[in-house]
Amino acid sequence: MVAKIIPGKDMSRLLNYNEKKVKEGVATCIDAVGFGLGPEKLNFRQKLFRFTDIMERNPIADTNSIHISINFPPGEDLPDDKLKEITASYMKRIGYGEQPYLVYKHTDAGHPHIHVVTTCIRESGNRIATHYNGKELSRPACLALEQEYGLTSTAQTENKQKEMPVVHLRKARYGKKPTKATIAEIITGVLNNYRFGTLEEYRAILLNFGVFADRGQPGSRTYEKNGLMYQLLDEHDIPKGVPIKASLFYQKPTIKNLALRYEKNIRKRNDYKGRLIRTIDKVVAEVGDINGFIDGLKDEGVDVVLRRNEQGFIYGMTFLDHKTCCVFNGSSLAKGYGAGAIISKLDNANITDQHKITANQTFVKSLMDNTSFQKNFYQVAQYWVRSGLQIIAQPVGNQEFIYWLGRKDTDTNTYVQATKPVTAYLYANGVGLPDRPAGRPGLPAGTPDNSRDSLIRLGASLESLQFLLSKLVTEWLEPIDVDNYIPAALLNEAKKKKNKKRST
């Protein structure tokens, strides 16, 4: 329980504020103490007259109205009778037990709270001192009421408001719940949890949770006055409903107030840059297009908000790391992580892989065209080793293989599949078969005179080679039977099918 006492000078304005909330459907007057009638039977004029009649008894008092907010943590929803009881006890403890007051229950924030309207002028005309009321009267009253009613302690309430678990935030949709209360809940959760350093980053988080924050078009009154309006998005992510001014929310999330948070947030989030950069690098290395990039980051707990121009081109990216609650525009994360750089990396990854595949296709085709298959396998293998060929045998059945060929020291994911004639030739010569001669683990079967050689991985190990060279090459040529090996050619084909399926 947290209470705040705000002295004022304009009772009419104070009453108008709360009565307007009632008309908007986000507040209810649940009690009227010292009025002689219940709140449901009082109109605005009667409420105002009750206060002004007393305040006129001390015309020299500059401060004559009091606005009190009593806040409870999310989840501590108390019935109206209990709220009235707690309020009466609180008012008595701070010296306002004999004063007339109105109690308004508000539902326009992410936590339960009530507003109390009263005056600091007594029936006698004497003024109640307002200095140090918070420290000397209000705080002890809150602590006593927490004990008496089993409420969440002041310290715990403040911590909960500052550290409301992000898990409570769910994407909102227009029409599901009262608009203002829903927007207020999202704003409260975002401000209390996420670290953002610009207005664009703040707007990106809200979009992720279904709230649109709009500055208005350049030249408009809202834009020129540095205003900010909030709306909910519908299921098609289109803003719906009447825009609500930032100043009407409890948190007052105006552009001016948001700017006060930027510097502190930037300092706090710097410690978490490394995780996000590593995550982005990892995903870029694994995918080949923007859709795969977005999906890959989502799997890592990071959402990407794209900004597009009227032609549909992406000109901005904002990363929302929900694991660290940090938000970065790509350009503010690090050099090379803006939208243009990321898209270029994705394009280059595709181009690089395709170039390597094409290079291996050209290399293998040229090598096969220049191979004299009339020679024995020993001689053919020697030629392939000297040319830098590498072969991987992928088991696909009972002593059946797919052979992948490429230049050694290149990425095996860019190897190309052997043609049917070459596959038949390799299989006929025992490449990949398990029947290996004793004393030569890792080598396919040889001829009786050990003059035959089989090519596995980086080339052939030949019996006629010198002993040291044979020993070294044998280690290199350990057969690779990779059951889960999938080359880039098949991966790219799978990506194309997946993207085609998405587009349809």
Burial 163-183 (b: 16+ CB within 10 A, else e): ebeeeebeebebeeeebbebb
Residues 428 and 280 in one domain: no
Residues 315 and 291 in one domain: yes
Q: Would you say 459 and 468 are in contact if contact means Cβ atoms under 8 Å apart?
A: no
Could you tell me which of 208, 178, 66 has the C-alpha nearest to residue 130? 66
For residue 369, is it within any domain? yes
Our count of domains for the chain comes to 4
Residues 380 and 428 in one domain: yes
Residues 71 and 99 in one domain: yes
* Residue at which a domain ends, from 162, 179, 214: 162
Q: Return d(Cα 169, Cα 186) in angstroms, integer.
A: 7
One digit per residue, the tens of pLDDT, for the chain of length 504 reads 888 898 988 999 999 999 998 988 889 999 999 999 999 999 999 999 999 999 999 999 889 999 999 988 766 788 999 999 999 999 999 999 999 999 999 887 667 889 999 999 999 999 998 887 777 888 899 999 888 888 777 555 555 444 444 445 678 888 888 888 889 889 988 998 899 999 999 999 999 999 999 998 888 989 898 899 999 998 888 898 899 999 988 889 999 999 999 999 999 888 888 889 989 988 888 887 888 899 999 988 899 988 887 767 788 899 999 888 899 998 888 888 988 888 888 876 555 566 778 888 888 999 999 999 888 877 888 788 888 888 887 777 666 778 888 887 777 777 888 899 988 888 887 776 654 333 333 333 333 333 333 344 333 333 433 332 232 222 333 333 334 444 444 555 555 555 555 555
What's the alpha-carbon Rg for the chain, to the nearest Å? 37
pLDDT at 379: 80
pTM, entire model? 0.44
Residues 149 and 212 in one domain: no
For residue 103, is it within any domain? yes
Q: Which residue has the tokens 């006593």?
A: 144
Residue 442: CB partners within 8 Å, gap ≥ 6?
436, 456, 474, 477, 478, 479
For residue 499, is it within any domain? no
For residue 461, is it within any domain? yes
Q: Return d(Cα 78, Cα 72) in angstroms, integer.
A: 9
Residues 44 and 76 in one domain: yes
For residue 429, is it within any domain? yes
Residues 18 and 142 in one domain: yes
Residue 459: CB partners within 8 Å, gap ≥ 6?
381, 384, 385, 389, 390, 408, 473, 476, 477
The residue segments making up the domain with residue 226 are: 168-269
Residues 26 and 149 in one domain: yes
Structure tokens at 48: 């105002």
Residues 283 and 265 in one domain: no
Could you tell me which of 355, 469, 457 has the C-alpha nearest to residue 409? 457
Residues 460 and 398 in one domain: yes
Q: Return d(Cα 64, Cα 59) in angstroms, integer.
A: 9
Is the sign of the CA dihedral 485, 487, 493, 496 positive or negative?
positive
* Residue at which a domain ends, from 346, 378, 406: 346
pLDDT at 375: 87
Q: Return d(Cα 305, Cα 167) in angstroms, integer.
A: 19
* Residue at which a domain ends, from 111, 135, 162: 162
For residue 322, is it within any domain? yes
Structure tokens at 246: 């930032």
For residue 206, is it within any domain? yes
Q: Return d(Cα 83, Cα 89) in angstroms, integer.
A: 10
Residues 260 and 323 in one domain: no
Residues 79 and 143 in one domain: yes
For residue 357, is it within any domain? no
pLDDT at 354: 67
Could you tell me which of 68, 104, 86 has the C-alpha nearest to residue 149? 86
Residue 251's SS3 state is coil
In the 3-class helix/strand/coil scheme, how is 74-139 assigned residue by residue? Answer: CCCCCCHHHHHHHHHHHHHHCCCCCCCEEEEEECCCCCCEEEEEEECECCCCCECCCCCHHHHHHH
Q: Return d(Cα 218, Cα 227) in angstroms, integer.
A: 11
pLDDT at 468: 24
pLDDT at 430: 75
Q: Return d(Cα 40, Cα 15) in angstroms, integer.
A: 15
Q: Return d(Cα 447, Cα 339) in angstroms, integer.
A: 60
Q: Return d(Cα 227, Cα 339) in angstroms, integer.
A: 28
pLDDT at 258: 94
